[in-house]
Amino acid sequence: MTIRAVGATASIDWLRRALNLGRDNPKAIFGGALLLLAAILALAVAMVVVLVAVGMVAKPDGLVASGVSMLVGLVVTALMAALIAGYLRLVDAVEHGRGASAGDVFSVLAEPPVAARAVLFMLVLMLAQNLLLAALVGLLAPDIGSWYLHTLQGPAGGTPPTALPDGFSLAMLVMWVVGLLFYGVQAVGFGQIALRGSSVGAALADGVRGTLRNLPALLLLFVLAVLAAIALAIVLVLAILLAGVLAKLVGGWVVAAIAVPLYLAFVVGLMVVMFGVMYFAWRDISGAGGDGQSMPAREDHIEL
């Protein structure tokens, strides 16, 4: 599969198409995102309950508790990886006019080799991202770690820090940029695994090449994301102020009954747009735009 370089403004088209993603089969697109969110939340809650139960029975020390917490995170990440691959397949089916339903988000779970490649890809990507961030943040803002721990301790740990550590703003910018670059690798890589049957190594290589060859488009996407975040923050502040006024007029429970479904709908819509951008970025960068058939994933073994 050829990895292409697209124009800088391609990211605008990715976003536009992602915003229109549910027009052909909204039940599958939004229902699949809702099922994905529900599955992740259900697993996270179940794992937290197990973690609390283990803590009450075994009373583990801090090291054991940290290990169990890490295990919880890995399990949730593994499910998330498989469901992302399944959701990309769902989107691909809708975009090419094939039959699709919300339950297709779980399709990859029925194909263990594909699910395993998706999980391994996600874990490798997370490890690389965290190591790179740790190195860069440690170089740009070496005091940010101690500042963060001090902040978490609160008053019990002494006087809370009143000033941000040196290099904090630059470190935050680096986090955003690194996150964006890895989002590009993730978009191309997951598409290759879910829709082209690529091995983990090939998906990583294609993801890195696709990201490096399309930095202008990704940087514009970064700018669009920042502008969208600012707009959403303004809307959120206005919504909180409005909710406060309504709570005094009609009661907090009524406001909560209205706000919770609206917030859930917002999160689902945000997921649809995020994964939609991921899919359309993969399709343009991988040169699959005119291909109406997805290559079946190899299921006889797990390729690295």
Whole-angstrom Cα distance, residue 141 to residue 64? 29
The token duo for 238 is 């206005």
The residues of the chain scoring below 70 in pLDDT are: 1, 54-55, 57-66, 149, 152-162, 289-304
CB atoms within 10 A of CB 26: 12
pLDDT number for residue 140: 80
Q: Would you say 234 and 26 are in contact if contact means Cβ atoms under 8 Å apart?
A: no
pLDDT number for residue 63: 62
Q: Would you say 278 and 193 are in contact if contact means Cβ atoms under 8 Å apart?
A: no
Whole-angstrom Cα distance, residue 88 to residue 162? 44
pLDDT number for residue 214: 94
pLDDT number for residue 193: 95
Kindly report the three-state secondary structure assignment for every residue of 27-86.
HHHHHHHHHHHHHHHHHHHHHHHHHHHHHHHHCCCHHHHHHHHHHHHHHHHHHHHHHHHH
pLDDT number for residue 154: 56
Whole-angstrom Cα distance, residue 185 to residue 211? 6
Contacts of 114 (CB under 8 A, 6+ apart): 85, 108, 193, 194, 197, 297, 299
The stretches of 96-167 forming alpha helices (DSSP H) are: 112-140, 144-153
Longest CA–CA separation in the chain, Å: 62
The secondary structure of residue 105, as a DSSP letter, is: G
Backbone angles phi, psi at 149, to 5 degrees: -65, -40
Write out pLDDT tens, residues 10-39. Answer: 999 999 999 999 888 999 999 999 999 999
Q: How far is CA 94 from the centre of its chain?
A: 21
**Helix and strand counts by DSSP (H, E) for the chain:** 9, 0
Q: Would you say 187 and 278 are in contact if contact means Cβ atoms under 8 Å apart?
A: yes
pLDDT number for residue 294: 47
Whole-angstrom Cα distance, residue 134 to residue 129? 8
Write out pLDDT tens, residues 221-270. Answer: 989 988 988 998 898 888 888 887 877 777 777 777 888 888 899 999 99
pLDDT number for residue 229: 87
pLDDT number for residue 261: 86
pLDDT number for residue 295: 46
pLDDT number for residue 60: 57
pLDDT number for residue 121: 96
